[in-house]
């Protein structure tokens, strides 16, 4: 029944060691998002895809990259994680023109 | 001024009481409005969409006041399981895929 799936649920990496988080969806939604959420804060949009069109937020660091090879999958690459990148990373989907966003369970990233 | 503002709380409310949250938004062109619920260390989950005419889902009632640019959520007969953070979320344009989140209001229901 899971509609938005994120793997892994917990990720531990070392300072500066690249890490990739993955998201898949069974909803066939045309928009996919990556958010970063830190404790007691609202989710912060990093970027999103409308189909293959990539939309980067102006304040998203260059350290964060994304790929969407097909409708179902989207990846978040953190090229050189810093201690400040420790957070929950949420993937969400949306069908343009209708409804609300649906979130995956998130990946909690710890940087040592 | 933040695009979406909420009282962060915390609200500590006895079980069975009625609790109301308000949220204000700054963009008068906003089209879609939602309340999400987020449990500790979990993802936000859609609680309900908010329609111009107001809408009700069981113990939950959402209202929209476009003139004053605020949205409300009323929870009646609160349960322990209602303890969570409630996020007010606004979409500025119909079909626009970007949402703006409030920082959330934390609710704790006390036995």
A101–B contact, CB cutoff 8 A: yes
Pairs of CB atoms within 8 A across A/B? 42
Measure in Å the smallest separation between the Cα of A106 and chain B Cα atoms. 6
Q: pLDDT of B10-59, one tens digit each?
A: 999 999 999 999 999 998 888 889 999 999 989 999 999 998 888 999 99
Query: What is the model's pLDDT at position B31?
Result: 82
Chain A residues within an 8 Å CB radius of B41: 88, 108
What per-residue confidence (pLDDT) applies to B53? 84
Cross-chain residue pair B102–A45, CB shorter than 8 Å: no
CA A59 from centre of chain: 15
A95 has a pLDDT exceeding 90: no
Q: Alpha-carbon distance A36 to A31, whole Å?
A: 17
B46-94 pLDDT, tens digit each: 999 998 888 999 999 999 999 999 999 999 999 999 999 999 999 876 5
What is the pLDDT at residue B95?
53
Which has more confidence, A92 or B9? Answer: A92
When CB atoms are compared, the residue of A42, A99, A101 closest to B102 is A42
Is the CA virtual torsion B93, A92, A99, B90 positive or negative? Answer: negative
pLDDT value, residue B8: 84
Strands (E), chain B: 4-6, 11-14, 19-25, 32-38, 44-50, 55-57, 60-65, 70-75, 84-91, 99-101, 105-110
What is the share, in percent, of chain B residues with pLDDT greater than 70?
Answer: 95
Mean pLDDT of A4-20: 95
pLDDT, position A43 = 93
A18-64 pLDDT, tens digit per residue, is: 999 999 999 999 999 999 999 989 999 999 999 999 999 989 999 99
Chain A interface disruption, residue of B44, B92, B104, most A CBs within 10 A: B44
- Looking at residues B102-107, what average pLDDT do you find? 93
Mean of the pLDDT values across residues A89-108? 89
């Amino acid at each position: 029944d899971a509609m938005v799936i994120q793997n892994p649920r917990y990720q531990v990496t070392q300072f500066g060691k690249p890490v990739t988080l993955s998201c898949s969806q069974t909803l066939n939604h045309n928009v996919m998002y990556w958010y970063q959420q830190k404790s007691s804060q609202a989710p912060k949009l990093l970027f999103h895809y409308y189909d293959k069109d990539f939309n980067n937020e102006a304040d998203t660091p260059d350290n964060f990259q994304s790929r969407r090879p097909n409708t179902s999958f989207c990846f978040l690459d953190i090229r050189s994680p810093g201690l400040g990148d420790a957070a929950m990373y949420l993937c969400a989907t949306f069908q343009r023109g209708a409804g609300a966003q649906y979130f995956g369970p998130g990946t909690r990233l710890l940087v040592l | 001024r933040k695009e979406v503002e909420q009282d962060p709380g915390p609200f500590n409310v006895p079980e069975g009481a009625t609790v109301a949250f308000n949220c204000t938004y700054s963009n008068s062109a906003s089209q879609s409005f939602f309340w999400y619920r987020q449990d500790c260390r979990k993802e936000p989950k859609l609680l309900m969409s908010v329609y111009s005419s107001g809408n009700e889902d069981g113990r939950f009632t959402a209202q929209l006041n476009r003139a004053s640019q605020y949205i409300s959520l009323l929870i009646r007969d609160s349960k322990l399981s209602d303890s969570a953070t409630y996020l007010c979320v606004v979409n500025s344009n119909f079909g626009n895929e970007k949402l703006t989140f409030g920082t959330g209001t934390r609710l704790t229901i006390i036995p």
